[in-house]
A and B are shown apart, each in its own frame.
Chain A
């Protein structure tokens, strides 16, 4: 049986204690939220914290509610908690669909919003048992020298595989980070970095406590399409989060398009600007999809071949934009049905 290594376990009750414990533990410490990422990584010895600080019992981290023109979502809300919220389903479709498609129902009952945002980057040279990684003499993300995906590279190319981050970037969300000394907020886009090892801008002593989500104005809509081989379990090999503001029967006033799982962070497609001022005609959608899909430069470190993933990117972007135009994804073929999959039961 795969087992975690030995560690100290702390279960603080207050955020203040949690911050103090994290700071005291220094580089030996790691935060435990739902455990669905950290625990397997500990079992595979990808992560070997000497101190594990559980956020499960920290007061306040599961709270959710309005805050002015924003919604505050506690980082320890499970993905199931999130998808059970009617206002999330109704108003923040991209987040709802992203959360609803993470892994499996069981894992969504455990995994948290904060945990999914902080999900370790993935690579099939890295997401392996210790013994396997020993056979390839490890990689630079853990204990080795080289990036096996791009051996001449000086950086790590592990892939951002979070479902919620692209959705939250498209929705213009921010995160709140707490330390012993206070709190700061920053946009989710700025929370992510394009490096497989240092993939977050979070400081080691900071705890992600909240997600701040703008309440959508009339005319705003969003969606999230996820590509994976199976309808359950699998991480995204490509995802598209899209958001637009468009008055009924009018032209698009603003748009955001974010690609997930194509780099070590979610990638914002500037091509979305091409949607503004249009009525999302087929020509416009295809041109934007063509341009945005150029951002997808897949590497051979996840499921499916790179060439195909690149082709699929264009298809997925097109589909997501058509959905925002008002097309029914159910009519867009089997892959669309899969990629735009809606609500699971809780």
Chain B
């Protein structure tokens, strides 16, 4: 903890406040993407594949092209350049070129005068498919290398990673007890209530503008430039406020590219809004993960070694999958001390919508595994689960075995708070049969230490502009997805300049008007944009202070910015209004504008794969869940939840609490009822593989009636790495809830459900299994793992590099796509070649015949 930032006297920060965008939201004036209507606007609909896996032989769109009201029909050949969020998996096409990979993969687009006409015209497109065998799950993918869903990877294995930190086998052999468990975490989706929508228009000067419900306008900007072959300087992406994101709007999406292309070809605005079913097909949600976790402990339950294997069902495309795979291992060391650690992860392709990042990205699954296993260890050793955890918390201000650098670490206090609040000591193991409490903990990133593509540039930038009226405008590429990023920006600038957050004009999420911010993902905005905002505001304050100091003849160091005034700390009456102060600044310096930016510190993890996991700071959460379980039916009711979150510093407690409660809500859905379920029809009849119920009715999102009482504790333990000590709160509090529910069910009825969702069926099955008293996966498939990269932990003389790694080329220059550094003219000459070099899914495409 830093006493310096802890002791700051703050005017705005930390006070419960109405968020700056609240008025727009409660009056219905917030303009979401589908709320935009432009003159002469056309509407787009996508024709999607009814086959889970097939070759496209022929597309006959003649009837659609000639239908009244139809303006354009696009197919894959119109957008042949692949793209994808990660440079290593550029495997998507805006419209499938010659192969469809899941039911819902887009094949053609119709643009028409209205949506109904576009929809009707889809029936006029005849596509001949040659169906291919499908892969439904990871076990099938491992044993079925052909036909391949993607041309890269190994058979249908997308990626295998193996890392080892210290001599795990030796440590395991010396452990007093070794616990081996297998867990399964079912996939789930974000289910933002706003369906994805995008609107593209050609500006009067011929440039392209895309409005989209995206969390990552910067990455969409890059993808558009690449696929459309035009300079990014001629493309403007505006992220409209997202009606919920949760990670589901973090990839560049096919529909965004399609409407951009259509607008360019037609010279008219083109809009698309996906149906709920289509949103299920965009997915990028939680990976289903099968896990085998082996942990060696000494006699009192302290971990001496951990060995984790994960098998991820990736769906049909790469998306963030490589990062997701690493994330299933990266943060296991950040919560408790793990002296030696081996992690092996494998992601496979299946004929389902692609998985990607959902709140907690890759980490809730192994967290679920470890927190349940710790509960089992506590039971086996007769220790209190809370005490067992507290006795081996990861050390603050230290490196972990895999070289994650921890700053402040408030987990101990979090545990104390929920233990005290819930009456844990009088409840755990002591309630009557059918009632129980469970505890679990977690940690999470405050922003990924590395960007999606390698570069040495800032991760976030803020620009301020001030004028003689006293008006302050703040510009930033960060994206408001409901989490309150605009409020964080206004909050911090206002704090430094001594004005009210509502005094500030905000311009965010616009690639033309604001400096780059990488986007609203990995809980990075508060920390990274926050630092940039502080820097810009402090620079502005210094310029103004210099001028006021000169005119008031008060040393600048004595000037206070507060209450819309700038005054002498020693004689508060001696001062000027903020507007007057700005005028003096403008008179002295000319037009006032400042910038701030933030680049995370260099990571200590130098090994390959060490790019995933490092963060400037880590947040911590602890949670106690109380349940009632009905033994006759297995019905589980969550009665109350106590959750404590180490937020470093809470910038606006109203919003912070909302993030915690929202995380708990989403976590309860995953814990109890939500699942991305698929169904394969009988093989002898068709074998088609479909999403079981792509609807808001059958995908069970809890209603008001399922939400229990939640007691939230914000633990404020300012971290030097965060702006004014702040850490994240948007994702971390989700993680402990699922395992806490599972542990509570055990406390209530004495059975383990080692998978989510914890449905009544599973509880009943576990109750009925007199032998195992458990419901969960029974085996982990045999996987041929590569030799792990061996990295000695810091306490064994390691330096963060792997001893058996081939020297790596510096990749900055290679992987930074030229379209970002060269403001070239349209069309961009180097883009198609760039597409060929990466792992394109269509290395030798046999193109279908297209009739239009």
Q: How far is the CA of A307 from the CA of B633 in the complex (A)?
A: 11
Q: Which residue of the partner chain B has the closest CB to A306?
A: B761
Given the known interface contacts A132-B277, A303-B698, the answer about A308 and B630 at a Cβ–Cβ threshold of 8 Å is no
B690 beta carbon closer than 8 Å to chain A: yes
**B96 smallest CB distance to A (angstroms):** 15
- Chain B residues with Cβ below 8 Å from A311 are 633, 764
Q: In terms of DSSP, what is the predominant structure of the interface of chain B?
A: loop
Please name the residue on chain A nearest to B702 by beta carbon: A230
* Cβ 8 A contact of B50, one of A131, A312, A335: A131
- Give A133-178 interface residues, CB cut-off 8 Å to B: 134-137, 146, 148, 151
- Given A124-B693, A234-B697, A308 and B50 contact (CB-CB distance below 8 Å): no
Residues of B within 8 A of A312 (CB): 633, 760
CB proximity to A under 8 Å, residues B679-717 = 681-682, 685-686, 688, 690-695, 697-698, 700, 702-706
Q: Indicate whether B249 reaches chain A with its CB closer than 8 angstroms.
A: no
Smallest Cβ-Cβ distance to B119: which chain A residue: A3
Q: Once the chains bind, are B50 and A233 in contact (CB under 8 Å)?
A: no
* A1 contacts B by Cβ under 8 Å: yes
Bound: A198/B178 CA distance, A: 61
A137 lies within 8 A of B630 (CB): no
Q: Given A305-B761, A308-B634, A335-B630, does the pair A230, B705 have CB atoms closer than 8 Å?
A: yes
B513: Cβ under 8 A from any A Cβ: no
Residues of chain B with a CB closer than 8 A to A229's CB: 673, 700
Q: Is B637 in contact with chain A by the CB < 8 A criterion?
A: yes
A-B contact count (CB 8 A): 99
Question: In the bound complex, do residue B690 and residue A304 qualify as a contact, i.e. CB atoms below 8 Å apart?
Answer: no
Say if the beta carbon of B551 comes within 8 Å of chain A: no
A2 B275 Cβ-Cβ under 8 A: yes
Chain A 91-105 near chain B by CB (<8 Å), digits 1 or 0: 000000000000000
Q: Which of B464-521 contact A (CB under 8 A)?
A: none
B119 contact set on A, CB distance < 8 A: 3
The smallest C-beta distance from B315 to any residue of chain A, in angstroms, reads: 16
How far apart sit A3 and B119, CA to CA, in the bound complex (Å)? 9
A172 vs B688: C-alpha distance when bound (angstroms): 45
Tell which of B685, B706, B759, B760 touches A230, judged by Cβ atoms closer than 8 Å. B706
CB of A281 within 8 A of chain B?
no
A274 at the binding interface (Cβ < 8 Å): no
The residues of B that contact A69 with a CB separation of less than 8 Å are: none
Chain B hits for A6, CB < 8 A: 116
Tell me if A201 is interfacial: C-beta within 8 Å of chain B.
no
A231 contacts B700, C-beta separation under 8 Å: no
* B833 sits at the interface (CB 8 A): no
Contact A333 B630 (CB under 8 A): yes
B115 part of interface (Cβ distance < 8 Å): yes
Contact A3 B115 (CB under 8 A): yes
A231 engages B705 (CB within 8 Å): yes
Q: In this complex, which of B434, B632, B688 has the most chain A Cβ atoms within 10 angstroms of its Cβ? A: B632
Please indicate the chain A residues that have their CB under 8 angstroms from the CB of B705 in the complex. Answer: 230-232
Shortest Cβ distance from A81 into chain B, in angstroms? 23
The smallest C-beta distance from A126 to any residue of chain B, in angstroms, reads: 11
A129 cross-chain contacts in B, Cβ below 8 A: 275, 277, 694
Q: Tell me the minimal C-beta distance from A135 to chain B in angstroms.
A: 4
Given the known inter-chain contacts A134-B50, A305-B761, A311-B764, please indicate yes or no for A334 contacting B628, CB distance below 8 A: yes
Bound: A36/B636 CA distance, A:
31
In the complex, chain B residues whose CB is within 8 Å of the CB of A1: 34, 115, 273, 275
Contact status A334-B637, CB under 8 Å: yes
Per-residue A-contact encoding for B636-656, CB less than 8 Å = 1, 0 else = 110000000000000000000
Complex formed: what's the CA distance from A255 to B437 in Å? 42
- Separation in Å of the A151 CB from the closest CB of chain B? 6
- The distance from the CB of B670 to the nearest CB of chain A, in whole angstroms, is 14
List residues 79-137 of chain A with CB under 8 A from any CB of chain B: 124, 127-129, 131-132, 134-137
Q: Is the CB of A231 within 8 A of B628?
A: no
Return the CB mask of A303-339 against B: 1 if under 8 Å, else 0: 1110110011001000000000000000001110010
Chain A nearest CB, measured from B108 CB (Å): 13
Alpha-carbon distance A3/B43, docked complex (angstroms) = 14
Interface flags for A272-292 (1: CB within 8 Å of B; 0: not) read 000000000000000000000
CB neighbours (8 Å) of B276 from chain A are 2
B54 → A minimal CB distance (Å): 11
The answer to whether B51 and A135 have CB atoms under 8 Å apart is yes
* Docked complex Cα distance between A219 and B580 (Å): 84
Indicate if B635 sits at the interface (CB-CB under 8 A). yes
A262 vs chain B, min Cβ distance (A): 17
Contact across chains for A132 and B690 when beta carbons are under 8 A apart = yes
Q: How far is the CB of A221 from chain B (nearest CB, A)?
A: 24
Partner of A132, one of B633, B686, B694, B760: B694
Q: Does B48 contact A (CB under 8 A)?
A: yes
Per-residue contact bits, chain B 573-601, to A (CB 8 Å; 1 contact, 0 not):
00000000000000000000000000000
Q: Is A3 a contact of B764 with CB atoms below 8 Å? A: no
Q: Min CB distance, A152 to chain B, in Å?
A: 10
**In the complex, what's the smallest C-beta–C-beta distance from B348 to chain A, in angstroms?**
23
Complex Cα–Cα for A284 and B634 (A): 24
**Residue interface mask B236-264, A partner, CB < 8 A = 1:** 00000000000000000000000000000
Taking CB atoms, residues of chain A closer than 8 Å to B275 are 1-2, 129
Instruction: Let me know if B110 is at the binding interface, CB within 8 A.
Output: no
Chain A residue, CB-CB nearest to B34: A1
Contact, CB under 8 Å: A308 / B760: yes
B103: interface (CB < 8 Å)? yes
Set of chain B residues within 8 Å of A232, measured between Cβ atoms: 703-705
Residues of A within 8 A of B48 (CB): 131
**Residues 211-249 of chain A: 1 if any B CB is under 8 Å from the residue's CB, otherwise 0?**
000000000000000000111111000000000000000
B628 and A333 contacting across the interface, CB-CB below 8 Å:
yes
Q: Which residues of A contact B637 (CB under 8 A)?
A: 334, 338
Indicate which residue in A134, A146, A333 contacts B635 across the interface (CB closer than 8 Å).
A333
Which single residue of chain A is at the shortest CB-CB distance from B700? A229
In whole angstroms, how far apart are the Cα atoms of A333 and B34 in the complex? 45
Are B633 and A315 in contact, CB atoms less than 8 angstroms apart?
yes
B631 to A, closest residue via Cβ = A333
Query: What chain B residues lie within 8 Å of A136 (beta carbons)?
Result: 681, 686, 688, 690
Chain A nearest CB, measured from B641 CB (Å): 16
Q: Is the CB of B116 within 8 A of A124?
A: no
In the complex the two chains form, what is the Cα distance from A131 to B704 in whole Å? 31
How distant is the Cα of A2 from the Cα of B273 in the complex, in angstroms?
A: 10
Contacts A230-B702, A233-B703; A335 near B635 (Cβ below 8 A): yes
B691, closest chain A residue (CB): A132
Output the nearest chain A residue to B114 by Cβ-Cβ distance: A3
Q: Which residues of B contact A304 (CB under 8 A)?
A: 759-761
Nearest A residue to B50 via CB reads A135
Chain B, 68-113, CB within 8 A of any chain A CB? 103
Give Cα A107 to B632, complex, Å: 32
Q: Which residues of A contact B690 (CB under 8 A)?
A: 132, 135-136
Expressed in whole angstroms, the Cα–Cα distance for A302 and B276 within the complex equals: 19
Whether A135 pairs with B688 at a CB distance below 8 angstroms is yes
The contact string, 1 if C-beta is below 8 Å from chain A, for chain B 195-236, is 000000000000000000000000000000000000000000
| Beta-carbon contact of A151 and B682 below 8 Å | yes
Contacts A135-B688, A308-B634 known; 20 new A-B pairs at CB < 8 A: A1-B273, A3-B119, A124-B692, A128-B695, A131-B277, A132-B690, A148-B681, A230-B700, A231-B703, A303-B700, A304-B759, A307-B761, A311-B633, A311-B764, A333-B434, A333-B635, A334-B630, A334-B637, A335-B633, A335-B635
Q: Which 8 A-B pairs have the closest CB atoms?
A: A231-B705, A334-B637, A335-B635, A135-B50, A308-B761, A232-B703, A333-B630, A135-B103
Which residues of chain B have a CB within 8 Å of any CB of chain A? 34, 48, 50-52, 103, 115-116, 119, 273, 275-277, 434, 628, 630, 632-637, 673, 681-682, 685-686, 688, 690-695, 697-698, 700, 702-706, 759-761, 764
Chain A residues near B (Cβ < 8 Å): 1-3, 6, 124, 127-129, 131-132, 134-137, 146, 148, 151, 229-234, 303-305, 307-308, 311-312, 315, 333-335, 338
What are 5 A-B contacts defined by CB distance under 8 Å?
Answer: A3-B119, A128-B694, A128-B695, A136-B688, A315-B632
